[in-house]
Amino acid sequence: MARVYFIGAGPAGVRWITQQGWDILARVDVALVTDQAVPEGEWPWPAQAEHITADEVISRLKHWTDQDRTVAVLVPESPAHHPLLPTWVTWVQERRQLGAVVPGIWRMTAVLDTEGFTLAKPLEAVEPAQHLQIATYTLSADTTTWAYGAPGQWRQIGNDEMDFKAWLTVKTPASVAPSLWFSRRPLAGRTVMLLRAGRAAARARERLEEYGATVLLAPVSAVTDPVSWEAVDEAITHLERFDWVIFTSQEAVSRFFSAMRRLRLDIRKLSAQIAVVGPQTAAAVQDYGIYPSLMPDEEYSQEGLAERLASLPLLGKGILLPGGNLNRSYLKDFLMQQGALVTSIALYQNLLVPLSPAVAKRVAAHDIDAVFYTASSAVEHLWEPHPELREALRQTQAVSIGPLTTRTLHHYVVGEILEAETSSMEAMVEALVRHYQTHR
């Protein structure tokens, strides 16, 4: 899905771009630089930069988003100042695309900063939220009362109008008008709990925060070394025995190749064919310069992998199954039924980690909007140690990585479950975004 970002480039040059803007520019495909927001020749990112006028933004956005490219639009100072921003944002929303508006540093803020004033934060850097945000002040005797009536309208009222029907009223110093923001980001005001850590969780957290969510990391298991490396070393030292090596997790991939390095084995010694359970595991294998021979077509699970292997001659084949102590036995049982000679090795242990009291309290208080379940074991590790939280969890939106995890959730009588279209945390994020876009 193409994304569009509107980024404030600050008063002049890339050194004024905020860290959030800098990070987004590091991963977009194309950057549309309007009105010389960044001088030509000053471009440290790999993305293609097009220097255009503000009037050309819509046509260039259409060109690049039609090609499913992620695009950043840079404007001088901050997007909030630009008169065409409402038009651009409306165009993006009508096409149901995702992205964000990233504030920049105002010229006046930069002047104050460089002349020696210490600023706690840029003057305009108020993060939008779905709920009302009103600045609070120490009130003096000289105050003004404002009322928020019809949507988008503030009205200054006198003492004789205090019965004016308004959604809310606020007092400010006489010289200050109140401000009100609504976020149009689909997950603004939502809190999402992730039950795992690691690189995939970090990427999911980044995406969720782009869409406005607050992300709570609460891993329910910890990965540690196996009790003994003896069986692992024996199997990896004699890789020539195996016709296939089958990976069912990214953790198994990284630990398998780490063990090869520890044993000083040349990776070219691995002559067996490689099978993987899904795209993310395949990508992990490819990081080591090896391309898997086999992967499920649709269902990225042990069942899906077994279906692909069923058409192959497995009788008498040596198969190595690297994994963890809590791996399901479905695939191993299937292979043995086909007459394969299966060797399982535990490269790691998954140890249960209960929720901290602070996190458990938030779950019980219905302070979590959605929970990401990335495996059946994650469901069990959350639900089994915390029977007192089960009712609250049933009322919290569940997001499942795939059919097996969904079935485990149904076992605990969870009602509405959002299931990712593919077995990845990225797909889980997209499922949650679509859900809240539909139910806003």
Does an H or E element contain 431, and which?
Answer: helix 425-438
Instruction: Look at residues 185, 80, 74 and name the one whose alpha carbon lies nearest to residue 126.
Output: 80
The structural domains of the chain, with segments of one domain joined by +, span: 3-114, 134-180, 191-220+353-438, 223-351
Look up the pTM and report it: 0.56
Does the structural domain 3-114 have CATH classification 3.40.1010.10? yes
> What is the pLDDT at residue 138?
40
Answer for the pair 391, 364: CB distance below 8 angstroms, yes or no.
Answer: no
Distance of CA 51 to the CA centre of its chain: 30
Q: What is the pLDDT of residues 102-149, one digit of tens each?
A: 888 766 554 443 333 333 333 343 333 222 233 333 444 566 676 655
Question: 223-351 architecture in CATH?
Answer: 3-Layer(aba) Sandwich (3.40)
Rg (CA), the chain: 27
The dihedrals phi and psi of 240, each to the nearest 5 degrees, come to: -65, -15
Q: Identical fold at 191-220+353-438 and 223-351?
A: yes
- What pLDDT band is residue 153 in, cutting at 50, 70 and 90? low
Query: Tens of pLDDT along 3-47?
Result: 899 998 887 677 778 778 888 898 899 999 998 888 887 888 889
Instruction: Give the pLDDT confidence of 37-53 residue by residue, as tens digits.
Output: 888 878 888 899 999 99
Predicted pLDDT of residue 397: 96
**194 or 166, higher pLDDT:** 194
Q: Tokens 């944002």 sit at which residue?
A: 89
Q: Which CATH architecture has domain 191-220+353-438?
A: 3-Layer(aba) Sandwich (3.40)
Q: What is the pLDDT at residue 370?
A: 96
Could you give the 3-state DSSP secondary structure of residue 91?
Answer: helix
**Of 95, 3, 75, 2, which Cα lies nearest the Cα of 32?**
75
CA proximity to 194, closest of 223, 220, 213, 217: 217
- With contact defined as beta carbons under 8 Å apart, do 95 and 65 qualify? yes
Which region, left, alpha or beta, applies to residue 104 given φ > 0 means left and ψ of -120 to 50 means alpha? beta
69, amino acid identity: R
Rounded to whole angstroms, the maximal C-alpha distance in the chain is 92
From 19-28, 157-166, 302-311, 343-352, the region with the lowest mean pLDDT: 157-166
Report yes or no: 190 and 370 within 8 Å, Cβ to Cβ: yes
Is the pLDDT at 150 greater than 90? The verdict is no
| pLDDT value at residue 114 | 39
Is the Cβ–Cβ distance between 409 and 400 less than 8 Å? yes
pLDDT of residue 389: 95
